[in-house]
Amino acid sequence: MNKNNFKRISHNIWEIPRDFKEGMRVPARVLSSPELFGGIDHKVIDQITNVACLPGIKKYALCMPDGHMGYGFPIGGVAAFSIDDGVISPGGIGFDINCGMRILRTNLTFDELRPKMEELLSRLFATIPSGVGSKGFLKLNRQQFNQLTEQGVGWCLENGYATESDAERTEDRGCLPNADHRTVSEKAISRGINQMGTLGSGNHYLEVEIARPDEIYDPVVAGRYGIDRDDQVVIGIHCGSRGFGHQIATDYLQVFSRCAGKYGLRVRDKELMAAPIKSEEGRRYASAMACAANSAFVNRQLITYGVRRVFRSVFGKSDQELGIELIYDVAHNIAKFEEYEIDGKEETLLVHRKGATRSFGPGKKEIPEIYRDVGQPVIVGGSMETGSALLYGTSEADEETFGSSLHGAGRTMSRMKAKRTTRGDTVKQRMKESGILVKTGYMPGLAEEAAFAYKNIDAVVEAVDALGISKKVARFYPVLNIKG
């Protein structure tokens, strides 16, 4: 594969033409920077050009700057499909359906946090379950869990686990409306019913971060989002639908494999197994996927409920005094029906975002009214050693990338290789020396998530900022981390 043969559309966009691979229905585009583009794995190119072969795909198959090899789609992959002849694919959404991230602002500063760091970390670790198989504080019966998966954050609001502001500042108010628990298997329910309010494992985390004044890039927008004081304490939560979403993806990959012949579907990679959007199987998966997405919104909301409880106890202050308010919650692994202009005509498309986030520009009705004139907050998670970034969505994203942007730093090394390269206790000590305290129930997991296993978060953020599909607002640096 010779990347020099790809067409350079602009400084930060490379196009792979349809004749690159037999069966491509549209070109593929890689959004990156010259420095990052040189490091993109050939497997990512193979995956994104396979996506370009799927029926009903519109305009381009897109790969964001944080792109790396995934299951089916590359992580960082975006594609939009016609509802008339297009498909829905679990490989374009991910096993951890609605793995996503939220950022909370507080009235606290680092000076107020510093003397209580160890106590706060211990209390958070004791309150927020993490790791493989972890169980939450809620004891739900089947009816309650079914309601939760169909109502999303609305269920939390009704039951006292969320505020109206929380619901308003969650993508789609924390509820995909087409959820139907009857499309979900018993096995999926059994895996998810006890996991609400838990981080899980892998790259999931709860992080206390600091907004340094020298890295507030747009003070006006930052102020609108609630970043309004020097060395402000913010809280990041990164997790998803846990075993519930994983089982739903597993179930429907098997369903789609069995029905492919009925619809004459041929895919270049079995990981891209799909079904027509309008088919019975496709509609059922979309409803089950929505259940998982709603459960993930609830999961992050319940963790927020626990975080507020711990902060009240440790700092001896009320919610109003602490000012712990949600800035925004964004989904990373999801498919949604959205309106876009294609060849001069408005069309409803099913947009798959796999390790990518929505990045809607000003004026879109889907953005909370409080942010509608500045654009949707875009949250970018880095490694546990580097922190996260806050950006805002733009009209350029609406026009060029189906309202999409990057979601994180993006891995450069497999978890297995990272564990062969370093030890968890080495990473923990290095983080401590850098001023970051961390707790985990699984020390090898720290090695898996070491900073060197990821791309430079500042480099990928600069790439989308230069493209104009998201613009920089602020950079946050970690001081406390609970690793799943």
Catalytic residues: 407
Query: Inter-axis angle of helices 142-151 and 280-315, to 10 degrees?
Result: 100
Neighbours of 363 (CB within 10 A): 11
* Closest alpha carbon to 295 in 419, 200, 224: 200
Q: What is the SS3 assignment for 265-279? A: CCCCCHHHCCEECCC
Cα atoms in the Cβ-side hemisphere of radius 13 Å centred on 342: 16
* Closest alpha carbon to 379 in 356, 407, 401: 407
End-to-end CA distance of the chain: 37
Residue 196: DSSP 8-state: T
Q: Hey, what amino acid is at 197?
A: G
Contact yes or no for 360/398 (Cβ under 8 A): yes
CA angle 61, 67, 69 (to 5 degrees): 95
Spatial separation of the C-alpha atoms in residues 270 and 253, rounded to whole Å: 9
Dihedral (Cα; 419, 425, 431, 435), 10-degree rounding: 170
Spatial separation of the C-alpha atoms in residues 189 and 19, rounded to whole Å: 44
Q: Hey, what amino acid is at 64?
A: M
How far lies 278's CA from each of 54, 319, 335, in Å?
15, 46, 14
Two structure tokens written together for 433: 């020396």
Neighbours of 403 (CB within 10 A): 29
Q: Hey, what amino acid is at 462?
A: E
How far lies 466's CA from each of 5, 179, 221, in Å?
23, 37, 18
Spatial separation of the C-alpha atoms in residues 462 and 287, rounded to whole Å: 36
Contact yes or no for 361/396 (Cβ under 8 A): yes
Contact yes or no for 196/140 (Cβ under 8 A): yes
Spatial separation of the C-alpha atoms in residues 370 and 330, rounded to whole Å: 16
- Judged by DSSP in three states, 107 sits in strand
Contact yes or no for 93/176 (Cβ under 8 A): no
